[in-house]
Chains A and B, each alone.
Chain A
């Protein structure tokens, strides 16, 4: 809650730093040649004639009721606009998140099987995937799968086929990051004394991995999930734009280009909210997966 308030305050005052008259921005920028009366009218409509402190409190008050203001450019309530857009982004982010976890699990399990070749290859794949920028990966995927092979559509306007390329674009770099963390923990865990104990009990290699090591390896990856979702949302800005897919990211970029302040503020607040919720969920998930955390808290 504190973080949300701080984010709202920070954005509110930050956008006051924008040079130029917000009223002019509403009317389409300094080039609009609007008359003084129209400007005054706009100022009254948007509450821009009030003192800054009052404007701030008004904005906070509206925020509490879920009112994010009205878009300068589109002249519709921001809340409605975002409500219509958030679904697409969440579907994309969750799909990418799931795919990334699956890839990371398979990759890290495979690369720690013991052969030196698999280890270096796995490391190379992780390193490369984590280094791939979304915008380039998207372009290359379009070039290969849409333009050259024609398997998948280059624009994502709905339908499962359109979701594939954006999901893969977002998932591959994330999988690289997750797999790195998982592989390192997996290697550490496989050296742990309790693994020796389990082997000495007659446990098989598969049992060691499934019953013991995998759970340990997923702990750091789980705690990274909050960060990962933020990463996906910020990646969505690029990916949605390239694949012309409706969603928060594309809306945000358009708003940034048009300097449509209420929308930018709205998206930022929404992203912060998602991040905060994710942090809470992640903490809960970590505690569920790791009883040691529960005890540490009880002991505090």
Chain B
């Protein structure tokens, strides 16, 4: 009771503040909008052809004409970054979708499939966790060969165990929750409890997971491209651009800094959005 006194006193002003998005959230939403426009209509953001070679304009630093400078073939970095958005995002989103779908299957099997299945799936997840991070992805690439499609698949597969673990935990938690028990006490059937209570409550957090996951997937996919195992130069993909620019790091920093900045900003934006979604849904309940 003592705690409650203090909290109710302190919390009275909080809800009003929560309703308004913070500066960080606005920036994050703005950046995501920028990415979406760059994906759907890259021409709206840049009028320069991302692949137009102009040997005379090679290695120009950032200027009014070329905001992010030009590369070794005189291509405009800004328009290449914009053009690369769709590829990078596509890889990130599909990898997340693959990971989440696999995670969902495994998680649901473990959460609902009875004790034996739960044990098996849990052990599988545990084993997959022993391949840290990129290692699982690298193994997939050894098997399937390099390329953007396998890179996507590789990232998707290697993120799946993480999702599976979270989803399973969520399902198990909801299944033994007081509200599911009270529905059982009332005499509701298992199918109704599943569709009315368990699934809706378990699926809502998936949106947050997906948001947070896209940032991570973009980074991993870019890392594979950077290592020469994903998208290959001269494709305008962020990781590949970085890799290509690495050679000139001493003389033309803008070749690597700007594509990298896009990756970092994407990750930050998705993290900020994912967290604010979590906070808002927590505030609702």
Contacts and interface: CB of A to CB of B under 8 A. Distances in A.
Interface in A209-258: 227, 229-231, 233-235, 237-238, 241-242, 252-253, 255-257
B141 interface: yes
A7 B263 contact: no
B130 A3 contact: yes
Contacts of A14: 139, 143
A237 B272 contact: no
Interface in B130-188: 130-135, 138-139, 141-143, 146
Contact of A256 (B132, B133, B138): B138
B135 A139 contact: no
A6 interface: yes
Interface residues of A, number: 53
A136 B256 contact: yes
A136 B229 CA distance: 16
Contacts of A121: none
B233 interface: no
Interface residues of B, number: 41
A71 to B, nearest CB: 14
A7 B228 contact: no
Contact of B256 (A139, A238, A272): A139
Given A7-B130, A234-B133, A136 B268 contact: no
A183 interface: no
B268 A140 contact: no
Interface string B198-239: 000000000000000001000100110011110000000001
Contact of B222 (A6, A131, A135): A135
Interface string B103-142: 0000000000000000000010011011111110011011
Interface string B15-49: 00000000010000000000000000000000000
Contacts of A124: 24
Interface string A127-171: 110111111100110110011000000000000000000000000
B249 A147 contact: yes
B184 to A, nearest CB: 27
Given A6-B123, A17-B143, A127-B272, A234 B226 contact: no
Cβ-closest 5 pairs across A and B: A230-B132, A234-B133, A136-B260, A131-B267, A147-B250
